[in-house]
Chain A
Amino acid sequence: MRLRFSRKMLGIPYAVFLLFFVIIPMLVILFYAFTDKEMHLSFENFIRFFSDPTKLSTIVYSLVIGLITTVVCLVIAYPVAYILARSKMKKKFVILLLFVTPMWINFVLRVNAIRELLNWMGLLGEANYFNTIFGMVYDFLPFMILPLYTTLLKIDESLYEASADLGGNAFTAFTRITLPLSMPGIASGITMVFLPSMTNYVVSDMLGNSKVTIIGKFIYEYFGTNWHMGSMVALVLLIVVLLSTWLTGGLKEENNARGTTL
């Protein structure tokens, strides 16, 4: 019997690919996290993870670094996106492009450029935490600007006119119109910045003189020594990722700045 062609079948290769290289690896992590070296079921990694003070303090450090990076990015990106979105300039997209262009330079080369700048300023090795946050803000800023710009651009100009007609001043217009309507953009920006700034140890290693340890770095350290513990850390990160995506209402695909092609 000849199998009848159906358009649905075109998805089979990708379904198999996802199964083998996305679903199974997640299950493997889950399996390793809850087994010991003899592959017996064990909660030892779980208990060790949550009773080790250095681990817990690193998690707090990572959260704080992620939080500061996110807040600084938001404080810089919001005015930039707002000014550009509401500007009547014809070529404003060229300026927006200028904010995004550095993103296309290789990530490590970009961090290396910041490293050279900090070295030149005499800060490298002196202010490890400052350098790490500086580098993260620099690298992740476009991820915040883009979703904010797209949501702010969609706000109908007539809403502002209505607000002015009804006697609202600039402040009420901002708190009653701009801010609520840009919430989806803020949420996307936060997910795009917060997660990598907690886990991307390339920045903290290259700029923090290897003195700043964030959660992602644990996985690297355990990769050489203890896969079971490494998997436990990865599993915790996975749960953090799922929780924060759920809290921010899910990453809107249209606002995904990494997916931006110009």
Chain B
Amino acid sequence: MLLTFIIEIFFLLGSIGFIWGLRLMSSPDTARKGNFYAGVGMTLAIIAALIMPLEGNVPNNYLWIFAALIVGTIIGYYSAIKVAMTSMPQMVSVFNGLGGACAVVLGLADVLHYYDGTKVVDTLGFLTVLLTLFIGGVAFTGSIFAYAKLEDLVDDKKVTLPKHSVINMIMLAGLIGLGAYILMQGEAIGMEAAIIFLVISLIYGVSFVAPIGGADMPVVISLLNSLSGLSGAAAGILFDSQFMVVGGILVGASGTILTVMMCNAMNRSIWNVLIGGFGGTSAVGATATGGTVKEISLNDAAIQLYYSQSVIIVPGYGLAVAQAQKICKEIDDQLSANGVEVKYAIHPVAGRMPGHMNVLLAEADVPYPKLLDLDEANSALSSADVAVIVGANDVVNPAAENDPGSPIYGMPVLKVWNAKSVIVLKRSMRSGYAGIENPLFFHDRTKMLFGDAKDVLGKLNSEIKSL
């Protein structure tokens, strides 16, 4: 009795640790402590699960459990220590997938025991089993496929079938039908049906991520994050564990909120992201291009930056790809030393997962008060002397504001053209992820600086040094 009481207190404290931990995540000053509390919560729960009294003569199999816990911890720890900050989206995707896979395993074990008669499950219980298999399965294969996309192992265009959204709809309808059939038949049909259900769920995971790519990656990762949490919550119902339900639902809620935020940041509905993709519509972009592009020399750019009062840097994923955050910070230091106020304007979907750019700049020692979000940045831009755009494109496209024919019309963007002058660092005149022309490059106040971001910033840095 006392032991059960202590165990339940542990689970309760664990849940509180999660909630309090997430609450502390709302400020950079307390976030680290919050993560620690959540970790403590998890540890308490694992201890509780190890010693909690279970009904009947329990075999325990502690050898298996400890071996697995140690192996998992070591692999998790080392991959977390080794991973580069640019690869965070890949890492989060893989972890999402593992959580989903674990939920699938739990669901599968229940399926086995249901059909060999060692566990009695009622219809609603079996519905939970199917939900665990489905959500966990989609989170698993979807995340692994998202990882492959982020690593450029697959080509977005090659994996999208014609009428892809129709295929997905059919698969989903098939899953619902098959699920209903399994529930109605109960033990009358064999285990095969449940296995087929799982297999289709796994295929659906890949198929659902396949057509989404490029700039929509932050949405997909958030959504998969949410699914991995929900699969944990479903598995929690199977094991009658309030703790698992609380943890899973919190993650589900966090993933859902981030998904919605990312969609809002692109002015698109979640259905549009899941079904559409930019591919089909981008050609419609009726933007009249033309006009001439003005280039600026490194020397002129250096002088302009050095003698201005305020500079706002707009980093995009191009900056991260070129690994140019550190050079960027060096330029920042030199300008700041000359009394120039340097800030960074960060669009919510810059980078490949929510908040990715902030982490990359934090890694390069840029203090977080210098990082402005969309609204702060737009008010700061109207009084800025120079806006420097490094490797960003669609998020600074004025067509989103004033060209109703553009596919990104209505998307909230960074209004860099309100700054007194704009310098765009760009590899070439190629259009961005979405394949949309950017009239900003032809704007009166815009000057271009072509080349690899790291290379150009390096040269710019030495020019400034020699002033």
Whether chains A and B associate is no
A interface with B by C-beta (< 8 Å): none
B interface with A by C-beta (< 8 Å): none
